[in-house]
């Protein structure tokens, strides 16, 4: 009896630990929050902190200033370099192995031949079932777009991935299936007295066609001090669109773009070191393009130039970021396909929990973070969506002109 009780408790503890480690996309929602009031370290400190370590320490800076002191350990390292038989394990080897193991095996014929040509690939990867058989083999399944090219067999293995039919978006079946929706039967019938009571408070003629709109005047005015939670108005959107042409000129400047790229890399490195980001390069920028642009501008020391542009429409940088973010997310919602909407719903419901928890290493977390990024990209209240719909053409024309970018920041990927 005691032994049975012991095993029961042990199993309960193990299952409890397993449940505690279960992955859900919603776990990563806080990782996508951007705090525009957060103090960022100076860019000089970040450059020093995340400066790449030298691959090899030469022990001197210039060959004409080597010094006059003999370093015995350094001399032995130089003498033995390149003579060892044992292969050194390189950084990222385990990640590559786990990534390939989690791939669909039908992709192996398109990456395997190339892996066999790369020096230093570990044997455990080259001997994987499905990879081992692809050595010096040309893929048999070829995309119709390239099937008629003469001597295609001479293509370098580096480009074999282009032969995979699934690599071409036009080969994918994007046909949307109309799901019949059955309206639920009303549980309660209307009570006439209730309708009479409502009519006595709210006159039906005030809502008849042609009635003069009373109240909601704020929808026709700019929002004073917009915040993260305030609702959009049409004048807000018009003012935001009015900043885009100058901001895109600002971002098209090569020196500005290089500074923003450097600031973005350092910002992501700092967030990763402090566990503030989702762990995927560029994904937070795609979810929150406007707030991230403001952060990069501040970090790169371009804040004054940015303020001059947005202040012409009455914004400071934070107010512009909030207005831009809400406009872009509502714009994405209006462009959603039925399949995208269905995917967002499934991610929110954590339908893929079993699949996520079956992945090895850390890829379950990375995929869950990617799922949550899709949810965050299409997160917008109905009121904002309706206001953006009224101004859709102006937004669409401006974004098409800038190739879906705002100040060198990509805001939408299809």
Whether the pLDDT of residue 213 is over 50: the answer is yes
Q: Please determine, for residue 132, whether its predicted confidence score (pLDDT) is greater than 90.
A: yes
Question: What is the pLDDT at residue 58?
Answer: 66
Residue 98 has pLDDT above 80, yes or no: yes
Rounded-to-integer distance, Cα 363 and Cα 97, Å: 12
Chain-centroid distance, C-alpha 67: 50
- Answer whether residue 148 shows pLDDT above 50: yes
What average pLDDT does range 177-197 have in this prediction?
Answer: 67
Dist. CA 80–CA 77, nearest whole Å: 5
Q: How far apart are the first and last CA of the chain?
A: 61
- Cα–Cα distances (Å) from 81 to 56, 60, 85, 167, in that order, read 12, 18, 11, 42
Cα separation, 113 vs 73, in Å, equals 41
pLDDT for 249-293, tens place per residue? 999 999 999 999 999 999 999 999 998 888 888 899 999 999 999
Q: Helices (DSSP H) in 202-351: which residue ranges? A: 234-252, 254-273, 283-287, 289-300, 303-311, 317-334, 338-348
pLDDT higher at 109 or 186: 109
Res 149: pLDDT: 92
Mean pLDDT of the chain, nearest integer: 83
10-25 pLDDT, tens digit each: 333 333 334 346 888 9
Query: Which of 4-18, 39-53, 168-182, 302-316 shows the lowest per-residue confidence on average (mean pLDDT)?
Result: 4-18
- Count how many residues are written for the chain: 414
Task: Give the residue-averaged pLDDT of 41-64.
Answer: 79
What is the Cα gyration radius of the chain?
A: 29
How large is the average pLDDT for residues 191-199? 75
Please, where are the H alpha helices in 179-221? Answer: 192-201
Q: How many Cα atoms within 13 Å fall on the side-chain side of residue 183?
A: 3
């Amino acid at each position: 009896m005691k032994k049975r009780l012991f095993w029961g408790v042990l199993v309960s503890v193990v299952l409890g630990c397993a449940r505690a480690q279960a992955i859900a996309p919603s776990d990563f929602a806080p990782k996508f929050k951007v705090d525009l009031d957060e103090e960022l370290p100076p860019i000089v400190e970040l450059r020093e902190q995340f400066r790449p370590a030298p691959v090899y320490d030469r022990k001197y800076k210039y060959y004409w200033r080597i010094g006059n002191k003999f370093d015995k350990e350094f001399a032995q390292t130089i003498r033995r370099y390149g003579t060892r038989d044992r292969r050194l394990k390189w950084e990222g080897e385990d990640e590559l192995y786990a990534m390939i193991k989690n791939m669909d095996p039908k992709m192996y014929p398109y990456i395997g031949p190339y892996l066999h040509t790369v020096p230093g690939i570990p044997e455990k990867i080259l001997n994987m079932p499905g990879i081992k058989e692809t050595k010096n083999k040309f893929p048999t399944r070829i995309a119709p777009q390239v099937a008629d090219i003469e001597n295609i067999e001479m293509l370098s293995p580096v480009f074999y991935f282009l032969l995979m039919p699934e690599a071409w978006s036009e080969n994918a079946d994007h046909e949307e299936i109309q799901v019949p929706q059955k309206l639920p039967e009303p549980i309660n019938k209307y009570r006439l007295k209730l309708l009479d009571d409502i009519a006595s408070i709210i006159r039906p003629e005030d809502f008849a066609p042609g009635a003069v709109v009373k109240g909601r005047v704020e929808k026709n005015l700019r929002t004073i001090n917009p915040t993260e939670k305030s609702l959009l108005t049409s004048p807000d959107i018009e003012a935001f669109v009015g900043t885009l042409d100058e901001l895109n000129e600002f971002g098209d400047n090569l020196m500005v773009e290089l500074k923003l790229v450097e600031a973005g890399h350092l910002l992501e490195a700092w967030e990763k070191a402090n566990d503030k980001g989702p762990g995927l390069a560029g994904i937070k920028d795609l979810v929150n393009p406007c707030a991230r642009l403001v952060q990069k501008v501040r970090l790169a020391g371009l804040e004054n130039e940015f303020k001059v542009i947005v202040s012409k429409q009455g914004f400071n940088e934070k107010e512009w970021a909030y207005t831009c973010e809400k406009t872009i997310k509502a714009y994405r919602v209006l462009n959603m396909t039925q399949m995208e909407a269905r995917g967002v719903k499934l991610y929110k419901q954590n339908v893929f929990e079993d699949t996520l928890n079956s992945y090895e290493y850390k890829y379950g977390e990375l995929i869950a973070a990617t799922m949550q990024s899709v949810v965050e990209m299409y997160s917008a209240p109905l009121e904002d969506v309706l206001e953006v719909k009224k101004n859709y053409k102006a937004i669409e024309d401006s974004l098409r002109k800038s190739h879906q970018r705002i100040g060198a920041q990509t805001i939408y990927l299809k």
